Amino acid sequence: MSVAAFVVIAFMLAMYVLLDGYDLGVAAITPLVARSDAAREGSMRSIGPFWNGNEVWLIAAGGALFALFPAAYAASFSGFYLAFMVVLWLLMFRGIAMELRSHFPSEIWHQFWDACFAGSSTLLIVLFGIALGNLLRGVPLGPQGYFAGTFSELLNPYALLVGVFAVAALALHGTLFLIMRTQGPAAERARRLVLRQWIVVLVLYVAVSAATIADRGIRFSWIDAIPLLSLAALVWTLYASLHSQERRAFAGSCAWLASLMLTAAATIYPYLLPNLPPARGGISIFAAAPSPVALASALAVTIVGLAAVIVYGTLVLKRLAGKLSVEE
């Protein structure tokens, strides 16, 4: 049952990366492709109805972690106190930038919020990447499982590399979303950026993979098959994009990100928070889970609720799909 709970948490975080990933990516790419007030507003409108629901995947994953693995929730949130607070503040800035921009008709007002929006979103991606990097690498844990390092230790070269990789990957994801969802000069510029972005992503992917292998050593297992899947998805994304198959390209990018999340989950399993080598162990899914009765109850309400969300969310949001024309 702990394994099922781990799968649920990993699934929710993967959904967060796929969904909020594109709106964070759109925000990060907008300053590069949108050259006017109207175009930047178009970018925001392309994600307007969706971003809030997308972000709920993160908040719900936090709640689910609390219910499914209370010990891990407590140790990680308090251990990474400052990092979590910075993430919170950035999420706030991003949210109000999205919502308040349109409520006042002034270009200065718009420019300020556009900058906040792009800046906070990009920084959030970097921080999420750094968090993932540290999870993969392991973090120094004290005897009771609380984080025993410092904030600056979290900014190690490996984690920073993953942070940069995350920006590149989600920027590509957002670019493909923007191309699929809007038409106009900004979408055209985005289209011309795809190939260059793709190359950067590929290079960084190879670098991160090499660094991971250097860090962890090679242990052949079934996990090694997933990167083949990742590469296939990445190649498919470029192929579809170059052939103007916009939906397929975006779907390819989703598959690529999902395969990366799968690799990450398989790498840290069975830990939620692995200890930094050479120390062994960490907070495992078995130690962090509550009693079987409580875990079964939490799993049941989580899975039933998520199934319902996926069904009605898909049915409803499909009706808001379709292209937006964005003038410049």
Partner 1 sequence: MDVVAADRLQFAFTIMFHYLFPITTMGLVPFVASYTFQAARGDADAAKAASFWTKIFAINFAIGVVTGVPMEFQFGTNWAVFSAASGSVIGQPLAMEGIYAFFLESIFLGVLLYGKGRVARSLHVASAFAVWFGSWLSGFFIVATDAWMQHPVGYQISGGRIELTSLPAVLLSPFAWWQYVHVMCGAMVAGGFLVSGIGAYYLLSNRELDLGRRFVDGGVVVALVFSLLAVFPTGDRNSANVTQYQPVKLAAMEGLFESESGAPLAIIGMPDTRNGTLIDPIFVPDVLSFLAYGNFNANVKGLKAYATQLWPPVELTYYAYHVMVGLGTIFVAIAALAGLFLVRRTLFRTRSVLWLLLLVMPFPYIANEAGWMTTEVGRQPWIIYGIMRTAQGASPTVVTGETIFTLIGFAGMYFLLGVLFLYLVLREIAIGPSEASPHAAEVATA
Identify whether the C-beta of residue 173 lies closer than 8 Å to the C-beta of residue 253.
Answer: yes
Which is closer to partner 1, CB of 3 or CB of 203? 3
Orientation angle between helical segments 157-181 and 2-33, nearest 10 degrees? 70
Pattern of binders to partner 1 over 303-322, x per CB under 8 A? --xx-xx--xx--xx-xx-x
* 71 near partner 1, rule: CB under 8 A: yes
48 binds partner 1 (CB under 8 A): yes
Decide: is 246 part of the binding site for partner 1 (CB under 8 A): no
Is 75 or 255 the residue whose CB approaches partner 1 more closely?
A: 75
Q: Which of residues 203-242 bind partner 1 (CB under 8 A)?
A: none
Binding status of residue 150 toward partner 1 by CB under 8 A: no
Taking residue 99's Cβ as centre, other Cβ atoms within 10 Å add up to 14
Residue list 252-281, contact with partner 1 (CB under 8 A): none
Which of 187, 170, 169 is CA-nearest to residue 178?
187
Residue reference for tokens 């989580």? 302
93-101, 114-122, 160-168, 179-187 -> range binding partner 1 (CB under 8 A): 93-101
Q: How far is the CB of 118 from partner 1 (least distance, A)?
A: 17
Tell me which residues touch partner 1 (CB under 8 A). 41, 45, 48-50, 52-53, 55-56, 59-60, 62-64, 66-71, 73-79, 81-82, 84-85, 88-89, 91-92, 95-96, 98-100, 102-104, 142, 144, 146-147, 290-291, 293-295, 297-298, 301-302, 305-306, 308-309, 312-313, 316-317, 319-320, 322, 324
